[in-house]
Structure 1
């Protein structure tokens, strides 16, 4: 096994955090800013890239790892947490918005997962956080995640987060599922991903579901979220006060008087 072997426990329901248990000299790598709490004997260190080539590859290898993160829109740095004590120690990471944390054992998932570019939370040291280019221009432009998605490779544990409720769908060979492009969280590397235009001009323009949806063809496993962060953010923005006044959703007598005063 190339990756560090870590144990974990997930707490909470809609606002979850994951507690990782580290044996002496074990390390977990996480997105900057995801730390919730940690034991005293754990050493925190900021590194370039994902830490998978910190012991080899030289400066160029580290720069390549950091460059991949810039392309995916992530921070240039990541943070490692290493147990330097004599016994088991714990470090916890929290989700950045309401939803679920999905534990993924990459060894059981053929060593490769493709996920949306902001889904990665933490992983055992040695897991490679790379990029996955969408080869088709149509998929890149209209696929909801652009040309680039994240690729997690290795044989250790990785944790991704998503909004709302998470549904895991196992696809048989040749089985196809169509979903909203923003609801796709992750998929195993053998799933074929494409997009399909919504049929009918009236449906496309006034249906409220966008112009395209994603088509995923098995075999493989797909993880789907019920509440993409982009959808949540758009609803919050729509309900926010406009120009310093009341929000659009406020009504009652006060709203009536404001209407006449305007």
Structure 2
């Protein structure tokens, strides 16, 4: 496969017959609909690239999120199977949580391309371990990784955790690629010792070790103190293990909410500011 001149390979890893490459399209020149030109101009001003994941297989396998595939070529077999003993459990879990029931597995020798994305792509290496990621962040993984669901089982976590009923569990040895809400440079890794806790106000603990326990607790010692503190209920993460935080995510969410409120005026104001 020959890359166009506008594509840059920003990251490349090889493992177990798989070459994982992150492609960046930094200069988009194919817009033909005039309605999209202002947004395209803003993307160029902000230097926001479009990213794509390319996986080159040599007698290997990868698993993709359902709907993430753009194309594949070569001697590739596609499977959408679940071991028989797990089918009923997965069907029930999927119906309750909205978690994907099937994730296609691509095996053989060839190239697999995902759909282009605006999100940042974050490779994560696993060595006989488990990590938990927010629902919706999983994009792809090597065939040796088992993709499942991590259910928040406590009542307080289900009602007030802000993370949804189910997160995604990745277990095994290999690599995974996540659709990160922020670039790697804006993630903070915190290592918790056994019994050490961390309180987080908001859903920006995007990734954690499988050994880290998740619950929901009061921000103060009493319920009255919690009510008047302005913080409400907090996500409590208890070690041992690592937690990756995205502290700037609320800022970006605020920008997006403001833009939706302003509508077309937000684009016009940003474009006007760019010209000054």
What does the per-residue CA deviation read over 1:96-123, in whole Å, with 9 as the maximum and x for residues that have no partner? 543x32322222xx42112212121111
1:181 to 199, 202, 205: 202
Match of 2:58 in 1: 23
CA RMSD of aligned residues (A): 3.4
Match of 1:76 in 2: 101
Return the offset for 1:221. Answer: 1.1
Specify the SS of the correspondent of 1:159.
Answer: strand
Q: TM-score, normalised by structure 2?
A: 0.65
Q: Is the 8 A contact 1:111 1:154 kept in 2?
A: yes
Q: Is the 8 A contact 2:74 2:111 kept in 1?
A: no
| In the alignment, structure 1 residue 92 sits paired with structure 2 residue 117 | no
| In the alignment, structure 1 residue 168 sits paired with structure 2 residue 189 | yes
* Structure 2 residues without counterparts, runs of 5 or longer: 1-14, 25-47, 270-276
What does the per-residue CA deviation read over 1:34-59, in whole Å, with 9 as the maximum and x for residues that have no partner? 22444x2053635145xxx4xxxx4x
Return the offset for 1:29. Answer: 1.0
| In the alignment, structure 1 residue 157 sits paired with structure 2 residue 175 | yes
What does the per-residue CA deviation read over 1:55-82, in whole Å, with 9 as the maximum and x for residues that have no partner? xxx4x53454455444441343322222
Distance 2:187 2:257 in 1: 24
Distance 2:169 2:265 in 1: 40
* Structure 1 residues without counterparts, runs of 5 or longer: 205-209, 252-262
Match of 1:136 in 2: 154
Name the CA shift for 1:37/1:22 in 2 (closer, same or farther; >3 Å): same
| In the alignment, structure 1 residue 236 sits paired with structure 2 residue 256 | yes
The alignment covers a number of residue pairs equal to 224
2:125 to 84, 90, 105: 105
| In the alignment, structure 1 residue 219 sits paired with structure 2 residue 240 | yes
Distance 2:160 2:197 in 1: 19
Q: TM-score, normalised by structure 1?
A: 0.68
Match of 2:74 in 1: 41
Name the CA shift for 1:211/1:124 in 2 (closer, same or farther; >3 Å): same
Specify the SS of the correspondent of 2:103.
Answer: strand
Match of 1:257 in 2: none
